[in-house]
Amino acid sequence: PEFITVANLANALRVRSEDFSRKLRQLGFDEVGPDYILNAENAGLISMEYGFEPQVEAEEEDEDLYPEPVPDDTSLLPSRPPIVTIMGHVDHGKTTILDYLRKTSVAATEYGGITQHIGAFSVNLESGRTITFLDTPGHSAFLSMRQRGANVTDIVILVVAADDSVMPQTIEAIKHSKAAGVPIIVAINKMDKEDAQPDRVKQDLARYGVEVEDFGGETQAIPVSGKTGLGMEELEEATVLLSEVLDHRAPRDGNVEGWILETTTRKAGRVATVLVRRGTLRVGQILVAGTTWAKVRTLKNEAGVDVAEAGPGTPVEVDGWRDQPVAGDEALQADSEQHADAVTRYRQAKVEQSRAADDVEHINEARRLEQ
């Protein structure tokens, strides 16, 4: 058993309860009554005080999957598209700008029409380059990826409406970007409006540590309109130029790794948008995410079109999940269904163990308060 009460341990060690209480106090367990629940580690330490040799059960074998280390030198790896996240205050025009960029990209490809909204898509530029755009991912997903030290975003496009200037979510986006060390390109939107005040936006940004170019800083600020299309090409160009400087690369071979960006249920079943980080995702592969896994049944791009594979920096909709995965979780390739099953069982067991430990803590605390 992993837990034992003070009374049961005293009994097992054949110690009188008064002696035992004194011993516990000496060892720093203050105010613990006979109902207090000890974990295995503490019970073992106490038993050793009485000359017992606690038997440690063999550690469960680690069945988990882990990402591969990132190589120090990436210069010989193939380039990958930059991942650009659009952030900014509500109603400042994030979705309008994204839709504009998406429309021009869908029009430029053969299949048009059936765009379904997913918050991530790739734009193929005339230069042959690709940019991946993400709509601001759900707050919790974003935080969860950040907590794992994930650089999901390479560049932030900060949308600020020229008639409204810097607002609370603008400031939050600036904080996020700075904390993650991600460079910002400012899109000063709604320039078609009569009351547009781009200079005021630039001044306000400077107060929050974003110094734009014509105010002596290094951050590019592009005047745009999601309504008329003004400045959209410049915005794309600025993004491409910055990404060329940053020069992102990732291996296209080896085990697939990525992030779950969002999840939904369609007629076909549970689907999740996976942003591939390294490797090449293909139909038939096995992906583990959190405590669930998928044998990839189909891969679809943002236009809902089946694709054969998705490489680093590409978002793709994956179906075939046993349970709904969670946005923000890491997705890692397993080499077989059996392996995926073992990994998810192992992770589930870990979750249950830590839940049990939390429960015990709560019970002890409640009993202490009762005394």
Where does this chain bind Mg ion (CB under 5 A)?
94-95
Please select the residue that binds ligand GDP; options are 35, 192, 204, 319, rule is CB under 6 A.
192
Please select the residue that binds ligand GDP; options are 47, 74, 79, 96, rule is CB under 6 A.
96
Residues near ligand GDP (CB under 6 A), total: 15
> Of ligand GDP, Mg ion, none, which one does residue 129 interact with (CB within 5 to 8 Å by kind)?
none
Binding region for ligand GDP (CB under 6 A) out of 52-60, 223-231, 301-309, 347-355: 223-231
Binding region for ligand GDP (CB under 6 A) out of 10-18, 184-192, 263-271, 315-323: 184-192
Please select the residue that binds ligand GDP; options are 153, 220, 225, 243, rule is CB under 6 A.
225
Residue nearest to Mg ion (CB): 95
> Of Mg ion, ligand GDP, none, which one does residue 280 interact with (CB within 5 to 8 Å by kind)?
none
Note whether 95 binds ligand GDP by CB under 6 A: yes
Note whether 90 binds ligand GDP by CB under 6 A: yes
Rounded to the nearest whole angstrom, what is the least distance from the CB of residue 157 to ligand GDP in the complex? 11
Three-class secondary structure assignment of the chain: CCEEEHHHHHHHHCCCHHHHHHHHHHCCCCCCCCCCEEEHHHHHHHHHHCCCCCCCCCCCCCCCCCCCCCCCCCCCCCECCCEEEEEECCCCCHHHHHHHHHHHHHHCCCCCCCCCCCCEEEEECCCCCEEEEEECCCHHHHHHHHHCCCCCCCEEEEEEECCCCCCHHHHHHHHHHHHHCCCEEEEEECCCCCCCCHHHHHHHHHHCCCCEHHHCCCECEEECCCCCCCCHHHHHHHHHHHHHHHCCECCCCCCCEEEEEEEEEECCEEEEEEEEEECCEECCCEEEECCEEEEEEEEECCCCCECCEECCCCEEEEEEECCCCCCCCEEEEECCHHHHHHHHHHHHHHHHHHHHHHHHHHHHHHHHHHC
> Of ligand GDP, Mg ion, none, which one does residue 270 interact with (CB within 5 to 8 Å by kind)?
none
Note whether 198 binds ligand GDP by CB under 6 A: no
For ligand GDP, the closer CB: 137 or 226: 226
Binding region for ligand GDP (CB under 6 A) out of 91-99, 206-214, 310-318, 335-343: 91-99
Please select the residue that binds ligand GDP; options are 41, 68, 91, 359, rule is CB under 6 A.
91
Binding region for ligand GDP (CB under 6 A): 88, 90-96, 189-190, 192-193, 225-227
